[in-house]
Amino acid sequence: MPASNPEPAPISALRDDGSVDSAHAGALSGELAVALFEHMVLARAFDERLVALQREGVVSQHASAIGEEAAIVGAAAAMHDEDWVFPSSREFAAALWRGMPLAAYAHHVVGSRRDVGHGRNAPDPPFWKAARVVSVSPLSGSHVPHAVGVAWAARTQKHDVAALLYFGEGATSSGEFHTGLNFAGVLGAPVVAFCRNDGRALSTSASQQTASASFAVKAVAYGLRGVRVDGSDVVAVFGVVRDARARAAAGQGATLVEAVIPGVEAADPVAKLRRHLVAQGLWDAERDQRLAGEVHVDVERAILEATAAGPPPPETMTSDVFAASEREGETAT
Partner 1 sequence: MTHAIDTQSNVKTGNATSMNLVQAINDALKLEMRRDPRVVVLGEDVGKVGGVFRVTQGLWDEFGDDRVIDTPLSEGGIIGTAIGMALYGMVPVPEIQFADFIFPAYDQIVSELAKMRWRSGGEYTAKMVIRTPVGGGIRGGLYHSQSPESLFIHVAGLKVVCPSNPHDAKGLLLASIRDPDPVLFFEPKRIYRAAKGDVPEGDYTVPIGKAAVVREGNHVTLLAWGAMLYEAIAAADEARKQGIEAEIVDLRTLWPVDVDTIVASVKKTGRVVVVHEAPRTCGFGAELVAIVNEKAFDHLEAPPARVCGFDTPFPYALEMDYLPLAHRILPAIVQTAKY
Which residues contribute to the site for partner 1 (CB under 8 A)?
A: 84, 115-118, 120-121, 127, 129, 134-135, 137, 139, 142-154, 156, 163, 175-176, 179-180, 182-183, 186-187, 319-324, 328, 331-332
Min separation Cβ 249 and partner 1, Å: 16
Residue whose CB is less far from partner 1, 146 or 225: 146
Q: Considering the complex, what minimum distance in angstroms separates the CB of residue 231 from partner 1?
A: 26
Q: What is the DSSP code (8-state) at residue 5?
A: P
Strands 225-230 and 191-197: unpaired
Q: Which residues pair with 230 in a beta bridge?
A: 260
Provide, rounded to whole angstroms, the least separation between the CB of residue 54 and partner 1: 21
Nearer to partner 1, 29 or 157 (CB): 157
Shortest Cβ 121–partner 1 spacing (Å): 6
Give residues with Cβ within 8 angstroms of 164, minimum separation 6. Answer: 75, 76, 79, 83, 84, 85, 86, 94, 147, 191, 192, 194, 241, 245
Which C-beta is closer to partner 1: that of 22 or that of 333?
333
243 contacts: CB under 8 Å, gap ≥ 6: none
* Distance of closest approach, residue 172 Cβ to partner 1, in angstroms: 15
Chain center to CA of 83? 13
Tell which residue, 93, 39, 34, has the closest CA to residue 65.
Answer: 93
State which residue, 15 or 113, has the beta carbon closest to partner 1.
113
Q: Quick one: 252 or 316, whose CB is closer to partner 1?
A: 316
- Minimum distance, C-beta of residue 103 to partner 1, in the bound complex (Å): 16
Tell the smallest beta-carbon distance from residue 331 to partner 1 (Å): 6
Whole-angstrom distance, CA of residue 225 vs CA of residue 227: 7
Q: Smallest distance from the beta carbon of 253 to partner 1, in angstroms?
A: 15
Alpha helices in 26-68 (DSSP H): 30-56
Nearer to partner 1, 125 or 168 (CB): 125
Nearest partner of 306 among 46, 42, 39, judged by Cα: 46
Closest to partner 1 by CB, 207 or 331: 331
The residues pairing with 20 across neighbouring beta strands, listed in sequence order, are: 14
Q: How many residues does the chain have?
A: 333
CB-based burial label for 287 (10 Å; 0-12, 13-18, 19+): middle
Nearer to partner 1, 143 or 274 (CB): 143
Determine the Cα–Cα distance for residues 79 and 77; give it in Å rounded to an integer: 6
Pairing state between β 191-197 and 255-260: parallel
